[in-house]
């Protein structure tokens, strides 16, 4: 554990750097792994896992771009079965993609050196992600000799078993535990459980909605389809999604009670997603509730059929595909305020009637 030293900004206009000490004193945990990883994929998987763990423990938001998570990569190559080679350390890695690219690049560089019969120098290198290239920081001042010693200003901290136990007890449910539970309780496949637990607050949003609505499986489906779709459209990360779970629960309830059509439910949800709209008042104000007016439905169906005689003839002639076309037109005409099932029912009755008429005419 240490404290952040501060932030460096490289001035673009003048040949100088600027130091911002506002961040100094912010606690920092440095985790040093053993040389256990064998590929960029393993490194990324390790970092992803660490990131989720830190986020679930509410230690940090772990954003590489903002510097709340950083990684230096030590890398060496060796022939299969051989002993570990000389390592280099790579700095200035600001995204998982940069880490991945830097590992690939450095692996190739070292292999090339060795194949040319040259040696790898133990050194610190700086990654330039724009040029996808690294260079050695060679000055003597960069040679590593930190001269660490027990800080007299910081008395030692004693971590007792009791204290550890208390911390463990107070620890929140971690991502893997959540995924396990989602699979068991909600019967979700692992992949879906992974998506829902992508971030701790996203999972919390899902769970709160599910509790309020009362059906976790249906809530999960809504998240996996509608929430993910809007996130993708808007290019949002899971932790940016914010709306009242009670609003989505209320909407799902309205769908369940057939008070809104699935089509309009999507429309309403977009409003909840964007500005946390209250679904019932929004639906009522905008005429999105289902109306149980059989007369209106009958008249509309009749009118649409009259306006599309050729298509209707095809339908009567047995072309079932055209049914969807008619349902769509009618739903549109009635702004989705009716149940598609009711529309279909009414349409079928009309077809039957028309068929009977035709038979009589022959």
Residue numbers of the site for other proteins (CB under 8 A)? 8-11, 14-21, 126, 135, 137, 139-141, 143, 145, 147, 149-158
Instruction: State how far the alpha carbon of 298 is from the alpha carbons of 93, 336, 338, 344, in Å.
Output: 65, 15, 12, 11
Q: How far apart are CA 308 and CA 187, in angstroms?
A: 46
Q: How far apart are CA 104 and CA 97, in angstroms?
A: 11
| Distance of closest approach, residue 117 Cβ to other proteins, in angstroms | 28
Closest among 89, 80, 121, 127 to 105, alpha carbons compared? 127
Q: Which is nearer to other proteins, 10 or 131 (CB)?
A: 10
As a residue count, the chain comes to: 362
* H/E element, 316: helix 309-316
| Distance of closest approach, residue 155 Cβ to other proteins, in angstroms | 5
| Distance of closest approach, residue 78 Cβ to other proteins, in angstroms | 25
**Strands 73-75 and 27-28, bridge-based pairing:** unpaired
In degrees and rounded to multiples of 5, residue 190 shows phi and psi of -50, -45
Q: Which is nearer to other proteins, 18 or 211 (CB)?
A: 18
Q: Which is nearer to other proteins, 32 or 362 (CB)?
A: 32
| Distance of closest approach, residue 19 Cβ to other proteins, in angstroms | 4
Mapped onto helix, strand or coil, the DSSP state of residue 214 is: coil
Mapped onto helix, strand or coil, the DSSP state of residue 28 is: strand
Q: Which is nearer to other proteins, 115 or 145 (CB)?
A: 145
| Distance of closest approach, residue 149 Cβ to other proteins, in angstroms | 6
| Distance of closest approach, residue 8 Cβ to other proteins, in angstroms | 6
In degrees and rounded to multiples of 5, residue 127 shows phi and psi of -90, 130
Closest among 70, 109, 118 to 88, alpha carbons compared? 109
Q: Which is nearer to other proteins, 152 or 317 (CB)?
A: 152
**What is the gyration radius of the CA atoms in the chain, in angstroms?**
31
**Which residues fall within 8 angstroms of residue 209, CB to CB, at 6 or more apart?**
219, 223, 245, 248, 249, 252
What strand order describes the sheet that includes 88-91?
73-75, 88-91, 124-128, 133-136
Q: Which is nearer to other proteins, 81 or 155 (CB)?
A: 155
Q: Which is nearer to other proteins, 42 or 121 (CB)?
A: 121
| Distance of closest approach, residue 259 Cβ to other proteins, in angstroms | 47
Q: Which is nearer to other proteins, 88 or 346 (CB)?
A: 88
Closest among 43, 217, 285 to 206, alpha carbons compared? 217
| Distance of closest approach, residue 13 Cβ to other proteins, in angstroms | 10
**Strands 27-28 and 2-3, bridge-based pairing:** antiparallel
| Distance of closest approach, residue 171 Cβ to other proteins, in angstroms | 17
Q: Which is nearer to other proteins, 155 or 295 (CB)?
A: 155
Whether the CB-CB separation of 3 and 26 falls below 8 Å is answered with yes
Closest among 107, 106, 154 to 133, alpha carbons compared? 106
Q: Which is nearer to other proteins, 24 or 39 (CB)?
A: 24
| Distance of closest approach, residue 34 Cβ to other proteins, in angstroms | 21
């Amino acid at each position: 554990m240490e404290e952040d030293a501060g932030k460096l900004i490289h001035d673009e206009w003048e040949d100088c750097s600027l130091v911002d000490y506002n961040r100094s004193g912010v606690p920092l945990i440095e985790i040093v792994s053993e040389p256990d990883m064998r590929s960029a994929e393993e490194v990324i998987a390790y970092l992803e896992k660490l990131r989720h763990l830190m986020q679930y423990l509410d230690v940090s938001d772990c954003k590489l771009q903002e510097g709340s998570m950083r990684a230096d990569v030590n890398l060496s190559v060796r022939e299969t079965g051989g002993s570990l080679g000389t390592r280099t350390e790579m700095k200035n890695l600001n995204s998982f993609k940069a880490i991945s690219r830097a590992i690939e690049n450095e692996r190739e560089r070292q292999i090339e050196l060795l194949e040319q019969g040259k040696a790898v120098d133990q050194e610190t290198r700086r990654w330039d992600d724009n040029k996808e290239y690294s260079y050695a920081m060679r000055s003597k001042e960069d040679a590593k000799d930190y001269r660490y010693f027990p800080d007299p200003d910081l008395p030692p901290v004693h971590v007792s078993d009791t204290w550890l136990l208390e911390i463990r007890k107070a620890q929140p449910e971690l991502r893997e535990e959540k995924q396990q539970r989602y699979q068991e309780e909600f019967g979700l496949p692992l992949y879906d459980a992974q998506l829902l637990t992508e971030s701790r607050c996203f999972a919390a949003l899902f769970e709160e909605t599910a509790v309020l609505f009362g059906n976790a499986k249906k809530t999960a489906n809504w998240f996996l389809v509608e929430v993910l779709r809007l996130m993708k459209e808007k290019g949002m990360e899971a932790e940016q999604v914010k709306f009242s779970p009670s609003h989505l629960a209320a909407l799902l309830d309205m769908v369940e009670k057939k008070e809104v059509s699935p089509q309009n439910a999507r429309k309403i949800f977009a409003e909840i997603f964007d500005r946390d709209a209250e679904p019932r008042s929004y639906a009522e104000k905008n005429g999105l509730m289902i109306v149980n007016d059989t007369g209106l439905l009958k008249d509309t169906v009749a009118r649409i059929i009259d306006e599309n005689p050729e298509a209707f003839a095809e339908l009567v002639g047995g072309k079932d595909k055209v049914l969807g076309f008619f349902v769509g037109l009618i739903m549109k005409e009635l702004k989705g305020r009716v149940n598609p099932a009711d529309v279909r029912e009414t349409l079928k009755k009309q077809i039957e009637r028309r068929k009977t008429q035709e038979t009589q005419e022959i």
